[in-house]
Amino acid sequence: MPSIVGTLKRMMASGGKSEPPPQLVMWYLQAAAPSIREVDRCEVRNFRSGDEDGWLELLQVNGALGDWDRARVQKVLFATHEQFFVECEGKIVACTGVNDKERDGKPCWEIGWVAVDPAFQGRGIGKLIVGTAVARALELGARPIYLLTDDFRVPALCSYLRLGFAPDDSHASYTRRWLDIFALLGADYQVYKPSFITVGDT
Ligand SMILES: CC(C)(COP(=O)(O)OP(=O)(O)OC[C@H]1O[C@@H](n2cnc3c(N)ncnc32)[C@H](O)[C@@H]1OP(=O)(O)O)[C@@H](O)C(=O)NCCC(=O)NCCS
């Protein structure tokens, strides 16, 4: 929980304007890998040279992660520790990467740039690729695993909760925001409500 003094200092540093709230953070805190369901005629595999065009096409058709060109894909590839794709009948339809990052001064694995081709969404491919990336991160070494996401990305939030990611409560805005998110989710997601919002539950 940030201190009042810290919040005031940040407000003064920004000339009194309030900063935009940070992205949501979710942690994978379990020792065991998530259970992963295979998807018919699709396989998860690592990056191979020559994947760049299919990857760029996927990010462009996905359309929910900003503007992409070859240079941006190359930059992400350079920064990624291990890059995964789901390929279905010869087409790259999903991507994510395991990234070597630090949070609060500690080495972590970040699961980043998750996207599924809209024509293939809702079939379990998102959970398949993120679950595989988490399993790999667990194999890579004993580090906390996290991802960054946004309040409006409901299918992403659903997938991450199902896989076992837990909401982080380190920012003052998170309680209200997760309360609003859980209010939108169906009854079968309420079991994933973190204790920092079930207490009081307003
Ligand atoms: C997030 C994303 C990768 C999920 O891919 P996917 O293959 O559709 O995911 P899955 O099929 O494995 O799971 C989707 C879950 O969301 C739920 N869901 C809720 N609203 C949904 C919607 N409008 N469309 C699809 N799924 C939805 C599904 O029911 C499913 O949950 P379940 O396991 O309880 O049934 C995909 O929606 C996407 O590319 N979104 C845009 C990019 C993005 O937001 N990336 C995440 C950045 S943090």
Calculate ∠ Cα 106-107-113, nearest 5°.
120
pLDDT band of residue 173 (cuts 50, 70, 90) is very high
Please give the pLDDT value at position 133: 98
Residue 6: CB partners within 8 Å, gap ≥ 6? none
For the cut 50, the answer to whether the pLDDT of residue 3 exceeds it is no
Residue 143 lies in a domain: yes
Q: Is 125 close to ligand 1, i.e. is its CB under 6 Å away? A: yes
pLDDT band of residue 12 (cuts 50, 70, 90) is very low
Residue 146 lies in a domain: yes
Contact criterion met (CB below 8 Å) for 143 and 108: yes
pLDDT band of residue 141 (cuts 50, 70, 90) is confident
pLDDT band of residue 18 (cuts 50, 70, 90) is confident
Which token pair is 135?
């399993």
CATH code of the domain in which 47 resides: 3.40.630.30
- Residue ranges making up the domain that contains 182: 20-198
State the CB neighbour count (10 A cutoff) for residue 30: 14
Between 131 and 19, name the one with better pLDDT: 131
Sign of CA dihedral 100, 106, 139, 110: negative
Please give the pLDDT value at position 201: 57
Residue 15 lies in a domain: no
Residue 56 lies in a domain: yes
Q: Is 172 close to ligand 1, i.e. is its CB under 6 Å away? A: no
Give nearest CA residue, ligand 1 atom 37: 155
Q: Is 126 close to ligand 1, i.e. is its CB under 6 Å away? A: yes
For the cut 90, the answer to whether the pLDDT of residue 170 exceeds it is yes
Q: How far apart are CA 94 and CA 156, in angstroms?
A: 13
Q: What is the mean pLDDT of the chain?
A: 92
Residue 74 lies in a domain: yes
Query: What domain count does the chain have?
Result: 1
pLDDT band of residue 19 (cuts 50, 70, 90) is confident
Distance of CA 115 to the CA centre of its chain: 10
Q: How far is the CA of 126 from the centre of ligand 1 (A)?
A: 6
Residue 182 lies in a domain: yes
